[in-house]
Homo-oligomer: A and B are copies of this chain.
Amino acid sequence: MNQHSSREELSAILTEADQIVRETRRIIRAALRKGFEHRLKADRSFVTDVDLAVEDKTRRMLRQRFPEHGILGEERGGDRPGSDYQWIIDPIDGTHSLRHRVPLFGTLLALLHRDEPVLGVIDLPALDKTYSGARGLGTKCNGRVMRVADLGPGQPLEEEIISVGERPQFTHAGKARVFDHLMKLHPSVRTYCDCFGHALAIEGAVGAMVDFDLRIWDTSATAVLVAEAGGKYVSMVRTGTSLEDCRYDVVFGKPRVVDWVLALIKRLGNREELP
């Protein structure tokens, strides 16, 4: 596919992706009004009826529109895994929040081309915000263009908020020290976990997000949206070999803040003494 056709094609696909998310948002809002069931999965995380209904609806709409594309979803697995184009679905990112009605959960939809993320949508139904973008097309939130401005020379890093996932994510990744030291070394570190923290980084509202032990469906939309907004996105594959298996440790946001976090991670990895 050449650069020109790709751009027009991506723009048309993005319009469809935005429509799909607008549809699934209705499922989520109805469930918030009527109530829903939850249960434990084998991996000890929760799933709700909402997760399943959103993923099923998304898969149906994708199959209708893009019959030749593959699909990988958090809840229902893979479909046509050999295709050049792969849709990646996280129907509810932040199921624990949804279950407790903390309004900071969302739906993530991304398109990979030969394993590279080229299009992403993060929808936060309870906040009425949709972030969407694609390679070469920029990132918008509800139509507003997103620009992650780096810190200028006079802007102190200490005044930035840094958001992180929950501590158990860092423990699973063998990196509890990263979480603990961030908390001790920076004055404003907040566990704005899941896609809400990602959205804040795309807005430039937080200086960086540090999110460990993620899966492909947690990271793909954000990778595109941050890069297209002008931010820095660094992903470290910790384990796994296939799309479905890999665990990712990611840091993204304003370049100077991302670099500060990466330097801290490196010093901790080298077992250097820190304050």
Which residues of A in the span 127-142 have a Cβ within 8 Å of any Cβ on B? 127
A180 at the interface (CB under 8 A from B): yes
Mask: chain A, 170-194; 1 = CB below 8 Å from B; 0 = not: 0000000001100110011111110
A41 at the interface (CB under 8 A from B): no
What chain B residues lie within 8 Å of A103 (beta carbons)? Answer: 127
A206 at the interface (CB under 8 A from B): yes
How many A residues face the partner with a CB closer than 8 A? Answer: 27
CA distance A3 to B175 in the complex (A): 57
CA distance A192 to B161 in the complex (A): 13
A101 at the interface (CB under 8 A from B): yes
Give the Cβ gap from A38 to chain B, nearest Cβ, in Å: 10
From B184, B191, B203, A190 is in contact (CB under 8 Å) with: B191
Is A206 touching B102 in the complex (CB atoms < 8 A)? yes
What chain B residues lie within 8 Å of A101 (beta carbons)? Answer: 203, 205
Total copies of the chain: 2
A166 at the interface (CB under 8 A from B): yes
Is A167 touching B189 in the complex (CB atoms < 8 A)? yes
> What residue of chain B has the Cβ atom nearest to residue A193's Cβ?
B190
Which residues of A in the span 197-227 have a Cβ within 8 Å of any Cβ on B? 200, 203, 205-206
30 pairs across A/B with beta carbons < 8 Å?
A: A96-B161, A96-B188, A100-B160, A100-B161, A100-B205, A100-B206, A101-B203, A101-B205, A102-B161, A102-B200, A102-B205, A102-B206, A103-B127, A127-B127, A166-B187, A166-B188, A166-B189, A166-B190, A167-B189, A168-B187, A179-B183, A180-B180, A180-B183, A183-B183, A189-B191, A190-B190, A190-B191, A190-B192, A190-B193, A191-B191
